Amino acid sequence: MRRRIVAGNWKMNMTPSEAVILCEKLKGLVNNPEVDVVYCVPAIDIMPVAEAVKGTLVKVGAENMYFEEKGAYTGEISAAMLKDAGVSYVILGHSERRMLFGETDEAINKKMKKAIEYGITPIMCCGETLKQREDGITLSHIKSQVKAGFDGIKAEDAENCVIAYEPIWAIGTGKTATSEQAEEVCRAIRECIAELYGAEVADKLRVQYGGSVNASNAAELFNMPDIDGGLVGGASLKEEFGSIVNA
Of the candidate spans 13-21, 68-76, 108-116, 164-172, the one that interacts with ligand 13P by CB under 6 A turns out to be 164-172
Of the candidate spans 109-117, 133-141, 208-216, 238-246, the one that interacts with ligand 13P by CB under 6 A turns out to be 208-216
- Give the nearest distance from C-beta 12 to ligand 13P in angstroms: 12
**Using rule CB under 6 A, residue 182 touches ligand 13P:** no
CA pair distance 172, 186, nearest whole angstrom:
20
CA pair distance 108, 101, nearest whole angstrom:
12
- The residue annotated as part of the active site, out of 94, 103, 183, 240, is 94
Neighbours of 15 (CB within 10 A): 12
- Give the nearest distance from C-beta 234 to ligand 13P in angstroms: 4
- Catalytic (active site) residue 220: no
Fill in the per-residue mask, 123 to 162: x = in contact with ligand 13P (CB under 6 A), - = not in contact: ----------------------------------------
CA pair distance 241, 8, nearest whole angstrom:
8
CA pair distance 124, 205, nearest whole angstrom:
12
Cα torsion 68, 74, 78, 81: sign = positive
Choose which of 53, 158, 161, 213 interacts with ligand 13P (CB under 6 A): 213
164 closest CA partner among 207, 133, 121: 207
11 closest CA partner among 53, 36, 34, 40: 40
Choose which of 36, 45, 103, 166 interacts with ligand 13P (CB under 6 A): 166
Q: Which residues bind ligand 13P (CB under 6 A)?
A: 9, 94, 166, 171-172, 210-213, 231-235
Active site amino acids = 94, 166
